[in-house]
Amino acid sequence: MTRTDTRERILDEAEQLMGARGYSGFSYQDIARPLGIRNAAIHYHFPTKADLGVAVIQRYRDMLAAAWKDFRAGRTSPRQQFDGYLHIFTHEAVRNQTLCPMGVLTADYFNLPDSMLEAGTTLKREVLEWLAEILASGRDSGDFRFEGNPEDEALMVMATLQGARQMARMIGTDAMMAIVTRLRSDLVADAGDRAA
Amino acid sequence: MTRTDTRERILDEAEQLMGARGYSGFSYQDIARPLGIRNAAIHYHFPTKADLGVAVIQRYRDMLAAAWKDFRAGRTSPRQQFDGYLHIFTHEAVRNQTLCPMGVLTADYFNLPDSMLEAGTTLKREVLEWLAEILASGRDSGDFRFEGNPEDEALMVMATLQGARQMARMIGTDAMMAIVTRLRSDLVADAGDRAA
DNA sequence: GCGTTTACTTACTTATAAGTAAGTCAACAT
DNA sequence: ATGTTGACTTACTTATAAGTAAGTAAACGC
């Protein structure tokens, strides 16, 4: 009940709802009711639904940027950083089978207002750049093993993660985790079993 | 203008629209207008939207079943069959950046009526069973190389394909094709470059 | 030729969506 | 104490959604 954590709680609900039902799959009602506020209260903080959608993406970008900063501050290895990202990525998925904002972006693409597409393009770029960077330095350090350039590998990793998270709805979260674990072990050099 | 190809044209539009905007992202209007018919004409063929959604899935299942039958009739190798599936899968994606009905199912999962979830579960099972089968026989014949059981590999392949197709909206279809090509070459034994 | 069925149309209902305008009321600044 | 601002609420508008009921006209069975 302090000052405006209302805004933050609106964003919490919106992120959950967007992750579960997509951008056009939730209404202001869906947010207002559980929070015990009125529709217009949301319009006060976010005049249009597009503003709300952009804010969700923005906050998610900030969260990731903070996590990446922590990773770097902790002088963690590329592999540990990658595992940290996997944890962030899979944790919510296991809890409630939602998509991350980036998954929503690609899934709901043709329903999104321009402002969200712009914010989403930035998010996509940041994620792929970070991933490519961690993959590149990880290959140099011997943490990772893969062929081709790190940018392509980053795309491959993202596609598999997003696909797995989405498929979790139909195959269950255990099967999703199996895919993620397999992806990781294909990438990690000392996986043990080795190849061909 | 023959007798009821109207029904089929409704399904064509619905499949396109669902693939582009999801199940709850299109309306009867969106279908009726381009076909030059009225909303109620769609209700005549498909009383509820759920019926329409189920019919789209059903028709897609039939299409795949026919393709698989052709593959088998042609005595094509596991690799050729896999390539055939990749072609079906990627062709529409490149043309219009839609998702396949199975992608829609996972993306829009929590918006779907029960009848669609049931039809979707069957579709998912069929696709994964076919894939696992082709992967298994392909490994036996030397067409494919992978570790672990074929069922897990099938999940891995599906996740990557679905993720890539969805990401095509943001990264472009060329990048999507690069992912698919890479997935294929990781799977095909004589890929040349080899591993480890 | 005539009744029934098929494939629609027109005209409607009901629900829910986003968004707006005007009002309220507590806290704070002066 | 008083005016202003922040954080809402009540009450509304407009648009669009799915779905229904009743009518129509062509083709088909007989």
pLDDT value at residue B75: 83
Phi (first) and psi of residue B191, to 5 degrees? -55, -20
Question: A24 and B20: CB-CB below 8 Å?
Answer: no
Q: How far apart are CA B162 and CA A167, in angstroms?
A: 9
Residues constituting chain B? 196
CA nearest to B19, candidates B130, B121, B108, B112: B108
Measure B57 CA to D14 C1' (Å): 35
Tell me which of B195 and A124 has the higher pLDDT. Answer: A124
pLDDT at res. A193: 42
Q: Collect all residues of chain A within an 8 Å Cβ-Cβ radius of residue B147.
A: 193, 195
Search chain A and give the residue with CA nearest B185: A147
Whether B191 shows a pLDDT value over 80: the answer reads no
Give me the pLDDT at residue B163, please: 98
Residues in A touching B97 (Cβ below 8 Å) = 109
In Å, how far are A66, A116, B101, B136 from B130, measured between CA atoms? Answer: 43, 38, 17, 10
**Is any Cβ of chain A less than 8 angstroms from the Cβ of B156?**
yes
pLDDT in tens, B42-68: 999 999 999 999 999 999 999 999 999
Domains in chain B with CATH codes: 54-190 (1.10.357.10)
Q: Does B196 touch chain A (CB under 8 A)?
A: yes
Question: Measured between CA atoms, how close is A2 to chain B, in angstroms?
Answer: 33
Question: Which residues of chain A (31-50) touch nucleic strand C at CB < 7 A?
Answer: 39-40, 43, 47-50
3-state helix, strand, coil in chain B (%, to 5): 80, 0, 20
CA distance B17 to B33: 13
What average pLDDT does chain B have?
Answer: 93
Instruction: Find chain A residues with C-beta within 8 A of B107's C-beta.
Output: 22, 99, 107-108, 166
Question: What pLDDT is recorded for position A4?
Answer: 59
Both tokens of residue A119? 């914010």
Cα separation, B185 vs B10, in Å, equals 38
Q: Give percent of chain B with pLDDT exceeding 90.
A: 92
Determine the average pLDDT of the residues in B61-80: 94
Q: pLDDT tens digits, residue range B113-134?
A: 999 999 999 999 999 999 999 9
Token reading at B102: 């199975």
What is each CA distance from A144 to A78, A79, A130, A191, in whole angstroms?
8, 7, 15, 10
Calculate ∠ Cα A78-A81-A82, nearest 5°: 85
Q: pLDDT by residue (tens digit) across B144-190?
A: 999 999 999 999 999 999 999 999 999 999 999 999 999 999 999 66
B111 to chain A, any CB pair closer than 8 A? The answer is yes
Give me the CA A6–C1' D6 separation in Å, rounded.
Answer: 13
pLDDT in tens, chain A (196 residues): 345 589 999 999 999 999 999 999 999 999 999 999 999 999 999 999 999 999 999 999 999 999 999 999 988 899 999 999 999 999 999 999 999 999 999 999 999 999 999 999 999 999 999 999 999 999 999 999 999 999 999 999 999 999 999 999 999 999 999 999 999 999 996 644 443 3
pLDDT tens digits, A151-187: 999 999 999 999 999 999 999 999 999 999 999 999 9
Residues 6+ apart with CB under 8 A from A53: A14, A18, A23, A112, A113, A115, A116
